[in-house]
């Protein structure tokens, strides 16, 4: 685990006055980002029981944790926490961070429970000078007339009109809190609101009509609500009646590049793509969202996108990452672009537009969230002849020869463009009117006023809106076939239950964070009564995915890098995040390993089973292929194109690294915007400069709801970290 030089440093350090091999080893582990949890895992693996006693909290062991529960108003609520210690233990219950008076017994009983009693509860166990907190327990209280026991559901709906708000609500009681997922016409809905007991669609379209019902699960049991027929009519003077009535489909490709190999990394593209995906799906777009694509992967993704464009189709392409603009041509920079890069290493936006023009689409929307500074290393002048056609809209996040900004934050935040776009994207307005309003909102933003302004270019001859309804059976047979293939790019494998010879049963579940990022989680459904310990994890994953073993099978989603999806994942599982699924060449096979020990035998026993889930999500499209015959590269003839003069990445010693000047050091990147000051420096690669030192930026924030004693304060801090504060 450690090099010989590091071990030698530990042995030499003991000769100094305050030296200690143990201290040096702990310092080395800390420098490598190891947490106390990692240290405990290492000690348990090595069987160092004496050392474990030194790092584990002494004296208190919580035997029974309070469990989350959903109850009906007027019934009784009981939360229990039992612990043992070297001396007598005492209890104190809290609701969020407020201490509950006269609640100092192991059982918290509220009778009758009221709607105001809903919230998060935690118990503090005291033993002498030591104390421990239990896990958090969420209490959900319903005001419905139903009986306790088997989950009883209540769903309501009504006849609505285009532009109205649809709200469906269902409630179930049980322990632990039930989980919900809404379906329309038998197909699961994919936006985050579909995983809540209240389904809210703020702006109804004709395609939202159908039969709705909710799947409710508690542990390994499932039940369904009754179906609700939602009928959507139209106002006589509805603006949609004046819209294009020949929309055959709506498709979108969203690309966010942030983990650059030879350039400073970004943060906002991940959040921007995630938010935009959820909003476009509410507008009935078929969306494929991808992170961190190489040049060949970007070209292949664009090729697949172009296959979907036919007469009457609405196509939207969004890109966030590094970029530049030379002689009126915009270039998107892949994550594997060399330093410095040129047009041969990038994708030319105008070449993609040329192909889109040949499709007779109903609407072409380009949203480019990147810098448009000139690239002094690229003197190529692409010769691209564009037709004069209608229904094209360009939304540039910034003006020509200017930068696009991120907001510097310890947490997750949008870029400036998406920060304002997502507030208006669901409005039923002509797309150019909508973007004009976004431009006005950005113009009032003090931090970027005079430094970043949205630029809109349009050739719309008719009213086109992202809310326009899709014809029920529109499009050609070929178009429908490609559309179905595109839709498969966000289809997840089915969850499955695995039975082992020892009598244990494991649930293997899957969730999609992006079209090329999937989460695998394992959950113990049942285990034999005489089994004292039981845990399941995944192993032997494909080498194509390059997964760090240290970030696999973690107890919280945040430990594996799952931040945006963590709130919708089931609890008490082991989580593994698989990114870059587009690199998967074969079907995804892996091993599920069950580890357990029995009360009579104090040793660990393993059982394994192999699982094959095929090609999940974007892996079905085989974007890993190096080049395709219909590649968009062929539409952008350039003197330095790879077919004539390949441009290879320079060796590491040829990379340009700006001198470090601390917090204000200029880096070549899509710039960060510090909370109080914005620096506008020009970099040689055509980007603007980072306004905060990436190397010194704080780690990403997370909210471990069930492992903290002050959830409200942490949530407030986290939410505030996503906003821009003025000093």
pLDDT in tens, 87-125: 788 999 999 888 999 899 999 999 899 989 999 999 999
Residue-wise pLDDT for 581-596, tens only, equals 999 999 999 999 999 8
Average pLDDT on 252-270 reads: 92
Average pLDDT on 56-80 reads: 84
Comparing 44-53, 224-233, 353-362, 461-470, the range with the smallest average pLDDT is: 44-53
Cα–Cα dist 124/256, whole Å: 43
Cα–Cα dist 224/213, whole Å: 7
Cβ neighbours of residue 109 closer than 8 Å, sequence gap 6 or more: 76, 77, 78
Residue-wise pLDDT for 495-511, tens only, equals 899 999 988 999 999 99
> Residue 76 corresponds to which tokens in the numbers above?
């009784």
Q: Report which of 534, 506, 511 is spatially closest to residue 522, judged by C-alpha positions.
A: 506
Cα–Cα dist 299/625, whole Å: 10
Cβ neighbours of residue 693 closer than 8 Å, sequence gap 6 or more: 662, 663, 664, 665, 667
Helical spans, DSSP H, in 189-294: 268-282
Helix or strand holding residue 22 (H, E): helix 21-31
E strand segments, 170-259: 179-184, 187-188, 198-201, 210-218, 221-224, 228-230, 232-233, 249-256
Comparing 10-14, 116-120, 333-337, 609-613, the range with the smallest average pLDDT is: 10-14
Cα–Cα dist 73/270, whole Å: 41
Compare 47 and 423 and report the one with higher pLDDT: 423
- Domains in the chain (CATH in brackets) are 4-55 (1.10.533.10), 61-142 (2.60.40.10), 158-234 (2.60.40.10), 249-482 (3.40.50.1460), 490-621 (2.60.40.3360)
Average pLDDT on 196-221 reads: 82
Cα–Cα dist 2/9, whole Å: 11
Angle between helices 36-46 and 21-31 (to 10 degrees): 120
Cα–Cα dist 215/199, whole Å: 12
Cβ neighbours of residue 54 closer than 8 Å, sequence gap 6 or more: none
Cα–Cα dist 621/301, whole Å: 8
- Which pLDDT value is given to residue 238? 45
Cα–Cα dist 602/566, whole Å: 35
Average pLDDT on 188-209 reads: 80
User: Residue 676 — very low, low, confident or very high, per pLDDT cuts 50/70/90?
Assistant: very low
Q: Give yes or no for residue 438 having a pLDDT over 90.
A: yes
Compare 171 and 516 and report the one with higher pLDDT: 516
Burial (CB count <10 Å: 0-12, 13-18, 19+), residue 57: exposed
Helical spans, DSSP H, in 105-232: none
Q: Give yes or no for residue 445 having a pLDDT over 70.
A: yes
- Which pLDDT value is given to residue 383? 67
Residue with tokens 């330095």: 640
Q: Give yes or no for residue 630 having a pLDDT over 60.
A: no
Residues catalogued as catalytic: 322, 371
Cβ neighbours of residue 238 closer than 8 Å, sequence gap 6 or more: 161, 162, 163
Cβ neighbours of residue 53 closer than 8 Å, sequence gap 6 or more: none
- Which pLDDT value is given to residue 143? 77
How far are the Cα atoms of 159, 412, 431, 459, 467 from residue 243, in angstroms, in the given order? 23, 37, 12, 16, 10
How far are the Cα atoms of 209, 285, 425, 480 from residue 205, in angstroms, in the given order? 8, 12, 14, 21
Average pLDDT on 267-287 reads: 91
Q: Give yes or no for residue 475 having a pLDDT over 70.
A: no
Most confident range, picked from 29-43, 239-253, 307-321: 307-321
User: Residue 610 — very low, low, confident or very high, per pLDDT cuts 50/70/90?
Assistant: very high
**What average pLDDT is seen over the chain?**
76
- Which pLDDT value is given to residue 144? 64
- Which pLDDT value is given to residue 385? 64
Comparing 7-11, 164-168, 218-222, 265-269, the range with the smallest average pLDDT is: 7-11
């Amino acid at each position: 685990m450690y090099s010989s030089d590091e071990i030698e440093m530990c042995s030499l350090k003991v000769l100094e006055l305050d030296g200690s091999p143990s201290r040096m080893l702990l310092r080395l582990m800390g420098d490598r980002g190891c947490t106390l949890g990692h240290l405990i895992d290492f000690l348990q693996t090595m069987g160092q029981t004496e050392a474990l006693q030194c790092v584990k909290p002494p004296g208190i062991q919580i035997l029974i944790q309070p469990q989350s529960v959903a109850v009906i108003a007027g019934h009784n609520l009981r939360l229990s926490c039992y612990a043992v210690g070297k001396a007598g233990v005492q209890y104190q219950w809290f609701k969020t961070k407020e201490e509950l008076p006269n609640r100092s017994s192991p059982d918290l009983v509220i009778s009758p429970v009221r709607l105001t009693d809903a919230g998060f509860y935690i118990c503090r166990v005291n033993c002498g000078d030591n104390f421990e907190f239990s896990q958090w327990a969420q209490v959900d209280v319903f005001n419905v007339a139903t009986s306790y026991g088997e989950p009883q559901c209540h769903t309501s709906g009504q006849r609505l009109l285009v532009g109205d708000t649809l709200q469906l609500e269902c409630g179930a009681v049980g322990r632990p809190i039930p989980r919900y997922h809404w379906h329309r016409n038998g197909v699961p809905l994919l936006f985050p609101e579909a995983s809540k007991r209240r389904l809210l669609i703020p702006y109804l379209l004709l395609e939202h009509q159908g039969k709705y019902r909710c799947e409710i699960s508690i542990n390994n049991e499932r039940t369904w609500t009754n179906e609700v027929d939602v009928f959507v009519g139209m106002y006589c003077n509805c603006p949609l009646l004046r819209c294009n009535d020949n929309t055959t489909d709506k498709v979108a490709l969203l690309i966010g590049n942030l983990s650059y190999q030879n350039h400073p990394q970004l943060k906002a593209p991940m959040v921007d793509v995630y938010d935009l995906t959820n909003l476009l799906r509410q507008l009935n777009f078929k969306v494929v969202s991808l992170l961190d694509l190489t040049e060949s992967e970007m070209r292949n993704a664009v090729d697949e996108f172009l296959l979907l464009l036919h007469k009457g189709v609405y196509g939207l392409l969004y890109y966030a990452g590094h970029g530049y603009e030379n002689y009126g041509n915009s270039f998107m920079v892949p994550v594997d672009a060399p330093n410095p890069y040129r047009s041969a290493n990038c994708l030319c936006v105008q070449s993609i537009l040329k192909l889109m023009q040949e499709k007779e689409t109903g609407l072409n929307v380009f949203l480019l969230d990147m810098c448009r500074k000139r690239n002094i290393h690229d003197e190529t002048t692409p010769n691209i002849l564009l037709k004069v056609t209608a229904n094209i809209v360009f939304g540039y996040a910034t003006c020509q020869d200017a930068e696009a900004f991120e907001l510097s934050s310890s947490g997750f935040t949008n870029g400036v463009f998406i920060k304002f776009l997502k507030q208006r994207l669901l409005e039923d307005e002509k797309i150019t009117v909508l973007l004009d309003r976004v431009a006005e909102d950005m113009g009032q933003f003090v931090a970027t006023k005079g430094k970043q302004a949205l630029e809109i270019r349009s050739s719309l001859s008719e009213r086109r809106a992202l809310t326009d309804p899709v014809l029920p059976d529109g499009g050609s047979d070929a178009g429908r076939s490609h559309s179905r293939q595109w839709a498969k790019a966000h289809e997840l494998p089915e969850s499955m239950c695995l039975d082992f010879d020892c009598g244990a049963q494991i649930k293997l579940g899957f969730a999609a964070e992006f079209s090329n990022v999937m989460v695998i989680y394992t959950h113990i459904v049942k285990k034999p009564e005489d089994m004292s310990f039981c845990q399941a994890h995944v192993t032997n994953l494909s080498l194509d995915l390059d997964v760090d073993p240290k970030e696999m099978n973690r107890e919280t989603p945040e430990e594996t890098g799952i931040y945006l999806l963590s709130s919708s994942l089931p609890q008490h599982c082991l989580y593994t995040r698989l990114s870059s699924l587009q690199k998967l060449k074969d079907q995804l096979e892996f091993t599920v390993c069950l580890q357990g020990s029995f009360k009579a035998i104090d040793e660990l026993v393993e059982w394994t089973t192999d699982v094959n889930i095929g090609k999940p999500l974007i892996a079905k499209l085989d974007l890993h292929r190096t080049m395709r015959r219909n590649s968009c590269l062929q539409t952008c003839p350039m003197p330095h194109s790879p077919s004539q003069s390949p441009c290879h990445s320079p060796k590491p010693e040829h990379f340009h690294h700006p001198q470090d000047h601390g917090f204000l050091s200029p880096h070549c990147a899509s710039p960060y915007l510090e909370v109080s000051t914005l620096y506008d420096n020009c970099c040689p690669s055509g980007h603007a400069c980072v306004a905060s030192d990436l190397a010194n930026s704080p780690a990403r924030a997370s909210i471990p709801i069930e492992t903290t004693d002050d959830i409200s304060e942490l949530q407030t801090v986290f939410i505030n970290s996503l906003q821009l504060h003025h000093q």
